[in-house]
Amino acid sequence: MSLKRIINSPRTITFRLTLWHAGIFFILSLGAFLFIYLLVRSNLYRRVDSHLLEEVGEYRFLFDKGGYSEILTELEEESAREDLTKMFFRILTPGDEIVARTDLAAWRHFDFEKIKPDERIGEKTLIRTVDPPEAGAGKVRVLSTFIASGIILQVGEKLEENEQFLAILRKVIGLTMLLAVALAAFGGAIISRRSLAGVREATETAGDIARGVLNSRVPVKGSGDEIDRLAQTFNSMLDRIHALIIGMKEINDNIAHDLRSPITRIRGLAEMTLMGKENLLEYKNTAEITVHECDRLLAMINTMLDISEMDAGVAKREIAEVDISRVVREGAELFQPEAEDKGVTLKIEAPPVAPARGDVKKLQRALANILDNALKHTPGGGAVTISVGADRDQIRISISDTGIGIPENELSRIFERFYRGDKSRSEGGSGLGLSLARAIIRAHGGDITVSSFPGRGSTFTVILPRNFPSA
């Protein structure tokens, strides 16, 4: 345990927690010990007081029995009975005239001025603690009372033994507290370091990531406590960043290929046209292909931006109620003539369903992309079936085709950007349609899945939650 490190870093949470822990423990134990100390002291004093009162009772009794002379005799006898270094007895008038007293030889240092009778005595018995004139002489408990009118009895008793006991008690309490606070600080340090260990690990992991070790993760203990949840959240954030970075690397590779190819075509064609004979038809042809290729390039760039914006969640969406059945019917209608020309039957089972919330333009586009994909991969004589179903929470759209199907090993990859299956490479798509569809559906809080039987066809299933938050 690097206690030094804790002390050296007063800004750390560990240090502050330790300080708080020790501080609170100090205040609480101080309170408790103070209470105990005062209780013990008052108990000790009460014992002295009851002894003094006993004596007073005795004098009162004697005075009642035999009057003045009886108590003087008693006073004489006290000298023999009591240890006069520890006790004294005085009988005096309210005017501070001493009538009788025990031997005060041992009381030379005591300042009797301090216990001069005054109006405070009155009817009741006055008990007070008189501090010694000099250190070490010990405190004295003095009782003053009238035992008859005009006769004051003063009994004093040294608190020596009690004081010694209290001094030991104070020392014990002080030491105990010192030890306790030290232990509390130590314990606090251990507890806070223990509980913040996860944070330290997260910090170290973040440091690793900053140094480029992208697959570093915070160890999760599975205890389910706050720190563990932090670690899990932190890790899932790292997973997402990692996936995005890998995605970006892939995109960079693909951009190199997919954007360079059309540019190569445009450039080559233009160069050839310039090198050839001045043939207007050829020039027109070149211009046409240039426009076409540029449009494709532009569409690709825009689609890539759209996907990134969707994935990053920064795309502006105009959320409103969307009639999914209508979007499906309109989408199918868009492709109907193309399907007819190809000899593919488009079957639509889209009963009216309650509206979902979403951006209609984006959903149109997602569905059009999935439909386009299905139609592309279905040979003449086949069928594409679109059905819409809904329950309380979600809307389900499934698009089934009777196409060539997707091989098992390609299933997980078809939603990747620029991915084209071996068989669809010749179809001339951008490889972005399904990626964009998924990005849109996911941005709506839904998901898209695919199942396929090679040779028999594939089914894409879109699930859209109905209560998509509008924020």
Q: Which among 11-19, 72-80, 192-200, 284-292 is the span making contact with another protein, rule CB under 8 A?
A: 284-292
The answer to whether 441 and 464 are in contact (CB under 8 A) is: yes
Of these, 158, 365, 417, 466, which contacts another protein (CB under 8 A)? 365
Q: Could you say which DSSP state residue 226 is in?
A: H
Instruction: Tell whether residue 142 is a contact of another protein (CB under 8 A).
Output: no
Of these, 41, 51, 296, 396, which contacts another protein (CB under 8 A)? 296
CA distance 432 to 307: 9
Query: Which residues are 18's β-sheet partners?
Result: none
Q: Alpha carbon of 273 to those of 216, 259, 269, 297: distances in Å? A: 55, 22, 6, 21
Instruction: Tell whether residue 294 is a contact of another protein (CB under 8 A).
Output: yes
- Cβ closer to another protein: 358 or 433? 433
CA distance 336 to 386: 12
Residue 191 token pair? 């507890």
Of these, 144, 145, 325, 364, which contacts another protein (CB under 8 A)? 364
Instruction: Tell whether residue 329 is a contact of another protein (CB under 8 A).
Output: no
Of these, 23, 429, 445, 465, which contacts another protein (CB under 8 A)? 429
Q: Which among 87-95, 213-221, 366-374, 453-461 is the span making contact with another protein, rule CB under 8 A?
A: 366-374
Residue showing tokens 């004139």: 133
Task: Give the 3-state secondary structure of residue 155.
Answer: strand
Strands 383-390 and 345-349: parallel
- Within 333-362, the residues that bind another protein by CB under 8 A are 333-335, 337-338, 341, 361
Q: Which among 147-155, 346-354, 402-410, 429-437 is the span making contact with another protein, rule CB under 8 A?
A: 429-437
Of these, 64, 76, 204, 295, which contacts another protein (CB under 8 A)? 295
Rg (CA), the chain: 49
- Cβ closer to another protein: 202 or 324? 324
The answer to whether 325 and 350 are in contact (CB under 8 A) is: yes
CA distance 180 to 387: 74
Residues that bind another protein (CB under 8 A): 280, 284, 287-292, 294-296, 298-299, 302, 305, 316, 330, 333-335, 337-338, 341, 361, 364-365, 368-369, 372, 429-430, 433
